[in-house]
Amino acid sequence: MNYQNFGRTGIHVGPFCLGSAMFGQSIDEAAATSVIDAALDLGLNMIDTCDKYVGGKSEEIIGRALKANGQRDRVVLATKFSRSGVKDPQPPNHYGISRRYIIQAAEGCLRRLQTDHLDLFMIHRPWWDVALDETLRALDDLVRSGKVRYIGTSNYAAWELMEAQWAARELGTNRFVVEECAYNLLHRLPERELIPYAQTHGTALITWGPLAVGFFSGRYRRGEKPDPKSRIQPDNFWKEMLTEPAFRVLDVVETIAKEKNCTPVQLALAWVAQQPGVTCPIIGPLSVEALHDNLGALNVTLTAEDRTRLDAVAKPGSAIVADPAFGFQSQPHQFRW
């Protein structure tokens, strides 16, 4: 397995990052632990989670798994902070990017993950009611204390990252080294500004949703009602994936996959992993068997002709379905720094 620099940092990561959003929900702890152990045995060395996933259960499962297998030091452990628990609405000061909540969130993540440091601590969503200097200084304090190694963002726009980079330079704080964004054949908007930004400034780019929440697994077909338990439904945000433009992309993916003797999942993952500027896509297998199938993408090579055929149905820089966080990126910030 090949490893590469994580953006401009000195650490190295494998070609895929193990995601954990479904740990404790669609996959129980025993199965999740098996997936974690198998992923590390196969050479993956990065795990992504969040304090919000299943009310913190995802972090707890990962913490217990790494304590049991004794491989914490091998792992680049990444988590995000957003809001505590699962209550909605949240009590005041139990979410956001204030100094108070950032410190509180970090302590909670450390406790659930049973570790003394976080390799990567990311803001899960942009917030607009906190001055940027307060956020950067709080995160910088965590880095200087040794509780956090690197800081980053998730679902930010390029202009927000550029402003944060400028502010960090002026304030003399640590800067964001990674952005985690949605990116797949149905959502190519990051190609407009975000990917060029990452390439220009040496920012690592982790991508979530490479399979478009399971659309490229082939479980959704024209004219068929999806399983009621599926994430994509005719009445939710992802309904645009059940339209003809999306199915035309799936047709091409399945055709090329058949020609290459691989699965559509492997082809869709290979496309994201081999796109310029991408450091590592996040995969979320629900079993060891699915993990092996996902990693089969490492044996798939896309040619220029393959890319041209895919570009014809999934236009570069466009979106058949934008990710839910895209709307956040156009909101004005109430405070600067």
Check residue 22 and report its DSSP letter. T
Whole-number pLDDT of residue 322: 83
pLDDT tens for residues 243-292? 999 999 999 999 999 999 999 999 999 999 999 999 999 999 999 999 99
Query: Among the listed ranges 9-18, 110-119, 215-224, 267-276, which one has the minimum average pLDDT value?
Result: 215-224
What are the structure tokens assigned to 168, written together?
């960090």
List the beta bridge partners of residue 176: 151
Rounded CA separation 63/305 (Å): 44
Report yes or no: 299 and 126 within 8 Å, Cβ to Cβ: no
pLDDT tens for residues 32-44? 999 999 999 999 9
Report yes or no: 22 and 52 within 8 Å, Cβ to Cβ: no
Check residue 243 and report its DSSP letter. S
Torsion of CA 90, 93, 96, 100, to 10 degrees: -150
At residue 88, the 3 state secondary structure works out as coil
**CA nearest neighbour of 68 among 34, 27, 110:** 34
The amino acid at 330: S
Q: How confident is the model at residue 329 (pLDDT cuts 50, 70, 90)?
A: low
Q: Quick check: 130 pLDDT over 90? A: no
Q: Quick check: 89 pLDDT over 80? A: no
Element (H, E) at 140: helix 132-145
Which residues are tagged catalytic?
53
Fold of 4-322: TIM Barrel (3.20.20)
Q: Which residue has the higher pLDDT, 189 or 228?
A: 189
Report yes or no: 266 and 300 within 8 Å, Cβ to Cβ: yes
Whole-number pLDDT of residue 323: 76
Mention every residue, 6+ apart, whose C-beta is less than 8 A from residue 233. 226, 239
Q: Which residue has the higher pLDDT, 247 or 86?
A: 247
For every residue of 40-66, DSSP letters joined together read HHTT--EEE--TTGGGGHHHHHHHHHH
